[in-house]
Amino acid sequence: MSAPSRSDVPPTSIGIDLREEGVVVEYLDGRTTLYRGVPDAVEGSVTAGPGKETHVLVTDPTETEGVMTYVNDYNTDDEILEESGVGRVMVEDGERDEVFPGVIVAREGQRNEVIADPEIAGGRVFVFVEDGWTEGSYEIVEAPEDGLDAHR
% of residues, the chain, pLDDT over 90: 89
Please report whether residue 84 resides in a domain.
Answer: yes
Residue 151 lies in a domain: no
Q: Tell me the per-residue pLDDT of 6-37, one tens digit each, with 9 for 90 and over.
A: 789 999 999 999 999 999 999 999 999 999 99
| φ and ψ at residue 80, rounded to 5 degrees | -65, -45
Best CA proximity match to 15, nearest among 2, 4, 31, 1: 31
pTM assigned to the model: 0.94
Give domain status of residue 131, yes or no. yes
Number of domains in the chain: 1
For residue 8, tell me if it sits in a domain. Answer: no
Strands 135-142 and 40-43: parallel
Query: Is 128 contained in some domain?
Result: yes
Q: Could you tell me if residue 2 is inside a domain?
A: no
- Domain span including residue 18: 13-142
In a domain, 150, yes or no: no
pLDDT, tens digit, 9 for 90 and up, residues 64-83 = 999 999 999 988 999 999 99
Q: Is residue 71 included in any domain, yes or no?
A: yes
